[in-house]
Chain A
Amino acid sequence: MGVTWVFEAEQTAKSVERILESIGAELRGQFLVDVTTYNPPTPSPEFSSNVVMHHSKCPQSTFSICPKETFKKSPKAVCDRGFDLILGKLNNGLVVDNAGKIEINGNEYNLHTDWTIRVGTATQGTAVKGVVVEVEYDPSVIVVQCREMMVEFVKQVFNKYYDNQPEIFIITENPEKYSPLDTMWQYLLIATKLRKKT
Chain B
Amino acid sequence: MDNLVDIDEEGSRPKLSVNSTPYQTQECVLYGSIFAKNIPDLERRLAGLCDPGSEEFSEHEMSFSLRTSGAMDVKTDIKLRRRFRTEYQIQNYWQLRYIGVPEPDQKCPTIVRKEISSLVHSQDMMTYAKALGLRMDYEYITQGKLWTKGNIKILHSTLTRTLRAGTYDSNSLKSMSDSALVEISISLPESAEYLPAAKSLRDFADQLMPLVHMEKVDYWKKMFSTPAAPTRRQ
Residues of chain A having any CB pair with chain B under 8 Å: 40-44, 46-48, 50, 64, 66, 75-83, 85-86, 89-90, 92-94
Contact = CB atoms under 8 A, between A and B. Distances in A.
24 contacts: A42-B69, A44-B69, A50-B131, A75-B127, A76-B122, A76-B123, A76-B128, A78-B122, A79-B96, A79-B120, A79-B121, A80-B118, A80-B119, A81-B21, A81-B118, A82-B116, A83-B96, A85-B24, A86-B96, A86-B98, A89-B116, A90-B132, A90-B133, A92-B76
A186 to B, nearest CB: 18
Given A44-B69, A93-B67, A93-B133, 20 more contacts: A40-B133, A41-B70, A47-B69, A47-B133, A50-B132, A76-B122, A81-B21, A81-B23, A81-B118, A82-B117, A82-B119, A85-B23, A85-B24, A85-B98, A90-B78, A90-B132, A90-B133, A92-B76, A93-B76, A93-B132
A88 to B, nearest CB: 9
B74 A92 contact: yes
A92 B117 CA distance: 19
Of the candidates A43, A77, A79, A83, the one having the most CB atoms from chain B within 10 angstroms of its own CB is A77
Contacts of B133: 40, 47, 90, 93-94
B76 A77 contact: no
Contacts of A90: 66, 76, 78, 132-133
B21 A85 contact: yes
Nearest to A72: B123
Contacts of A93: 66-69, 76, 132-133
Majority SS at the chain A contact face? loop
A82 B21 contact: yes
Nearest to B99: A89
Contacts of B197: none
A142 to B, nearest CB: 18
Given A82-B24, A89-B116, A77 B80 contact: no
